[in-house]
Structure 1
């Protein structure tokens, strides 16, 4: 199916209140039928049981266990490809921000729906709220309705009609609930007596019987119908959660740690929470990329793909691979992923074109696998500069600097490995290179990025693709999928920036 005809998958979490969720789901089905959009939505009602005592006259205030239950349930729905979740539970909305921060699937906000509805019906200033004491203590309605005069029932000095009407031995959740509607009617009358112009059911079970109370002439909002209309009308709410960067690590291990350090250094932050969320799949057992590309070494494609899929399953918005040679396998992997791999090589070429225009020859120090695969040359195709590489003698020096027993992959960054790398660098400079790409992520551990590194009396720019990738990923996190700024697609952002 094309994107325009593929049904949107909307899920309702029902285990927290079966009466409420059944009412919401029923109204959702009816609304789609009226709109003629039944075939455009796939609906799921998740009724996984959340156990709580009934008939005790005690309201539920188990927010901690509720949060864990929701985490597991929403992740289960994510595995079923749910596109958005509806959550008819006011207690859960008291910790909505914390919950959403951990979820890949967006949770449609019932309180936002109510705010917009109140504004649409004339924006009354005096609101009556039927809610539990827990919701009131958490100031949920004060947070969403600042400046409004709010009247709550129950009040400390008055009889509590609300909690027994829901959770008591004759409440709505029991079979003997004949008195429940009458008790709720009394609670609504008290709110009206104190000036409430509109009544909002701050308990989802009351929302399920709002139409019955409205038939008695009470000015109560059908919160579930409002929630349904809001969820179907606001397509832009079906957007990606907060940006999380997935990192395919272990290729190699030191380069992975170096890349993460560069992400931290590239982030303008005043506190821990200003940094990117990183998900790292660190697997040094991924077969050597160069051994496969230039010899008969094991193919790393499946291992790289498996790492990307694990990152995808854990909520990554994009994937970074701090290994130049591994980019030779992106063309095989990317078509089967739903999230993009940020191309370090393309970003490096773009950086050169933007900041070093006029440099005619760009040198490349990289593994023989990277050079043989031609991935840098492909990335540089059509650029205004010529990409040059070492001859076979000096390329052997680069490989020794990386793979020898005293090379960088063995943990050495000084001595012979450094001299071998400088020798290869001198060869490129003598051939006219004025900028040299350190095209293996371990090489900057030997020769860090520098703007004026002198070789044989000539200045040369040493360019670190890992640092360029880190800065670009930080930019993606702040600009590409900012949850608060709107429904920006990361893939669209990558297209706009030319990745």
Structure 2
């Protein structure tokens, strides 16, 4: 199912028709006839999925299971998302009892049927009015209408006898779902409406989309009822009706290296203000240790990691990532190459780190860089620093050799060591930078914070220096993005 080619301001709406073929078809027709679509026919594209839901004929009793329905709706919505649609219409009140569960997992907007109905009622019924609700046993038991209307209106439901008649009118052998739009179905429904009006209801709200098929005839008989499909169609074609999408999702290029990936994720969790599991950030990780070594490519022209990094980022895009984090300093030598080919931003750890130092320690501070030789040779940190007027100090050749041994040596951090020789080597490199006057040191390889943690006032050769962990800076920035902060 592919969306047609769209102009810049075009909107593609998908309609799930398989939850009720007649109701779905009725909604589709009313969308085609809605005024916004008629006025701008070239702007709107409609996609209609009529693959039937397997439990379509089962009455929605109070204890009905929603599991199959949830998965069916999710799968169809995901298909529309993959096709490039902008939003999905779900003409099924029962499905709107779990709509928030779907939204949390989908990267496509679901147009809210209850929001449409509530906005419509607000225009035609004064606060405090008595509203009659014509809903299935399941929707009635779920309290769906109470959640949306009870604060402003008094809700009335049919008596047990008339509720049974309502279910018969929709699900019975002579009911609407069986294709009968007159006769027994219409008369049963009319009697239910009369009872609700007899209880003082001034407006009747349908809680079953099939009722829209009989709404015109009921209105002709003097029943003051709402055509839910017409209301839904008009709402969906309005320019301001699309709800927000799923919560922020962070994509992580993992495996560069593996331990640094786990460390970075832990820092995202640690830096997220949360009182419960659900307050944390959604993360999707492509753990790909087979991405060629970045330092080996930069220093010795070995295998180029560009394609592997790009394909990893593309998979994160396809998983719905809103932003991508790469917890590898050296890998940022390739970010500019691939960013222009991606639709979502890569959060640049190096630029964020330089900005953190600038705002935290000032422009005059002397900054030393502890990193792989590949990162130093690429000049990516130096370029980021020069853009804001900072200069960087780097170790001399002997000290840099010890930094590289701390990372890649037999007892280095990439081999799983965080104490002993690797720590001594790293401190030797740090001491050489401090001897040059550095008072802020960037731990510019993502494994180095596994040896020395970020700190202010860390003593090196008798001098108190600040250790800056770029992965922690990156984690904080990603948390800020997820929370909508600048």
Q: TM-score, normalised by structure 2?
A: 0.94
| 2:407 paired residue among 378, 402, 407 | 402
Question: Is contact 1:12-1:45 (8 Å) kept?
Answer: yes
State the alpha-carbon separation in 1 of the partners of residues 245 and 93 from structure 2: 23
- C-alpha change, 1:301 and 1:433, in structure 2 (3 Å) is same
Determine the structure 1 residue equivalent to 2:291: 286
| 1:10 paired residue among 9, 13, 22 | 13
| 1:168 paired residue among 164, 168, 172 | 172
Question: Is contact 1:126-1:197 (8 Å) kept?
Answer: yes
State the alpha-carbon separation in 2 of the partners of residues 406 and 313 from structure 1: 38
State the alpha-carbon separation in 2 of the partners of residues 419 and 34 from structure 1: 71
Determine the structure 1 residue equivalent to 2:443: 438
Question: Is contact 1:438-1:464 (8 Å) kept?
Answer: yes
Question: Is contact 1:59-1:167 (8 Å) kept?
Answer: no
Describe how 1:314-329 pairs up with structure 2 within 5 A: 314-329=319-334
Determine the structure 1 residue equivalent to 2:77: 74
Question: Is contact 1:402-1:443 (8 Å) kept?
Answer: yes
Question: Is contact 2:350-2:381 (8 Å) kept?
Answer: yes
Determine the structure 2 residue equivalent to 1:353: 358
Q: CA deviation at 1:42?
A: 2.1
Determine the structure 2 residue equivalent to 1:27: 30
Determine the structure 2 residue equivalent to 1:104: 107
Determine the structure 2 residue equivalent to 1:488: none
State the alpha-carbon separation in 2 of the partners of residues 411 and 33 from structure 1: 62
Question: Is contact 2:15-2:89 (8 Å) kept?
Answer: yes
Greater shift in the superposed pair: 35-44 or 281-290: 35-44
Determine the structure 2 residue equivalent to 1:39: 42
Greater shift in the superposed pair: 373-382 or 399-408: 373-382
| 2:463 paired residue among 444, 448, 458 | 458
Q: CA deviation at 1:2?
A: 12
Per the alignment, in what secondary structure is the counterpart of residue 302 of structure 2? coil
Determine the structure 2 residue equivalent to 1:115: 118
Describe how 1:101-250 pairs up with structure 2 within 5 A: 101-123=104-126, 125-147=129-151, 148-153=153-158, 155-158=159-162, 160-179=164-183, 180-235=185-240, 237=242, 239-250=244-255
State the alpha-carbon separation in 2 of the partners of residues 56 and 342 from structure 1: 50
Matched positions, count: 480
| 1:429 paired residue among 428, 431, 434 | 434
State the alpha-carbon separation in 1 of the partners of residues 156 and 382 from structure 2: 69
Q: CA deviation at 1:61?
A: 3.1
State the alpha-carbon separation in 1 of the partners of residues 279 and 33 from structure 2: 43
1:92 and 2:95 correspond: yes
State the alpha-carbon separation in 1 of the partners of residues 272 and 105 from structure 2: 21
Per the alignment, in what secondary structure is the counterpart of residue 336 of structure 1? coil
Q: CA deviation at 1:76?
A: 1.3
Q: CA deviation at 1:8?
A: 1.7
Determine the structure 2 residue equivalent to 1:50: 53
Greater shift in the superposed pair: 262-271 or 387-396: 387-396
Q: CA deviation at 1:358?
A: 4.1
Determine the structure 2 residue equivalent to 1:493: none
Q: CA deviation at 1:177?
A: 4.7
Q: Which runs of 5+ in 1 are unaligned?
A: 481-496
- C-alpha change, 1:208 and 1:158, in structure 2 (3 Å) is closer
Determine the structure 2 residue equivalent to 1:490: none
1:392 and 2:397 correspond: yes
Question: Is contact 2:264-2:475 (8 Å) kept?
Answer: yes
Greater shift in the superposed pair: 34-43 or 197-206: 34-43
